[in-house]
Amino acid sequence: MRKKILMITGFVLIVIAGLVAYAYMSTAGKTDLSFKIHINEKLVHQSGFGESPTFAIWLENPETKEIRAVYVTRRAAEGDWEGKAEVPTALPQWFKIEKKLKQSLSENNNPDGFSGATPKPGYFMAETGLEPGSSWICWIEVNLAGDFNDTYVGNINEENEKDKFLSGQPAILYRADINVIIDSVFHTSVVGMTVLGASDGNIIQPLYGITSATEIFDEIVISIVRPKPKIIKRHKILTSSLTKR
């Protein structure tokens, strides 16, 4: 009996060692794009609805124009706007991209595969795999509903065309140029504010009447890291892509 127990124990240890070795080997030569974003709790609580911001993160290949969705908060991904069919002013630039993205998806793909629950105030973290040596433009668009100010005044009358969706200040669009080299760290810059129907394609620069909207994310760190060895691989955030035509 003792010999049998030792044999079983030895077999289990060999299997575990094999799985650990496989986990490390599967990460060899691979790189992840890592996001660490801090959502400003004070601004969320001061907003008219007290809800965390809606945001989207996507990547664009500057050469091929391929678009890869990384992460989209639930309301924007599912169209769940508490009774409203849509809120196009929430993330105008992302919705423009999303329309093309969904059109490109086959029936076997999940259009909500890159979406997730809207993070609570505090740190949001995500990682997604990218090919070593590749280059990308990272876009982040964020909007905090009900962050009214003297320029973007709230009005509970939804017939008011100026802000019938009560979005408050327009969404802010960030950009970072990414070169996939291990241990690189990238910082974002504000491209402009996104306004539905703007003559220059939703993006307006310079910012007009913006006060707190650029502080919704009070920390954004984007870096290239080595994937962590995992015996059980979870579903990747990055699931869908398209090429602009």
pLDDT per residue as tens digits for the range 137-178: 999 999 999 999 999 987 655 555 567 788 899 999 999 999
Report residue 234's pLDDT band, with 50, 70 and 90 as the boundaries: very low
User: Is 70 exceeded by the pLDDT of residue 17?
Assistant: no
User: Is 50 exceeded by the pLDDT of residue 5?
Assistant: yes
- 113 burial type by CB count under 10 A (0-12 exposed, 13-18 middle, 19+ buried): middle
Bridge partner list, 143: 54
Lowest mean pLDDT across 83-87, 118-122, 133-137: 83-87
Question: What pLDDT was estimated at residue 155?
Answer: 64
Mean pLDDT for 123-133 is 94
Q: Which of 46-50, 113-117, 201-205 has the highest mean pLDDT?
A: 46-50
**Chain-wide mean pLDDT for the chain?**
80
- Report DSSP letters for the chain, one per residue: -HHHHHHHHHHHHHHHHHHHHHHHHTTTT-EEEEEEEEE-HHHHHHSSS-PPPEEEEEEE-TTT-EEEEEEEEHHHHHT-BTTBS--TTSSHHHHHHHHHHHHH--TTS-TTTTEEPPPPSEEEEEEEEE-TT-EEEEEEEEE-TTB--SSS---S-TT-TTSTT--BSPEEEEEEEEE--TT-EE--EEEEEE-TT-TTTSEESS--S-SSGGGSEEEEEEEEEPPPP-SSPPPPS---EEE--
Please state the length of the chain. 245
Mean pLDDT for 39-67 is 95
Residue 90's nearest CA partner among 129, 125, 118 is 118
pLDDT more than 90, % of the chain: 54
Lowest mean pLDDT across 42-56, 91-105, 201-215: 91-105
Report residue 200's pLDDT band, with 50, 70 and 90 as the boundaries: low
Report residue 108's pLDDT band, with 50, 70 and 90 as the boundaries: very low
Higher pLDDT, 99 or 230: 99
User: What is the pTM (predicted TM-score) of this model?
Assistant: 0.81
Question: What pLDDT was estimated at residue 164?
Answer: 77
Which residues fall within 8 angstroms of residue 131, CB to CB, at 6 or more apart? 31, 180
Are 101 and 34 within 8 A, CB to CB?
Answer: no
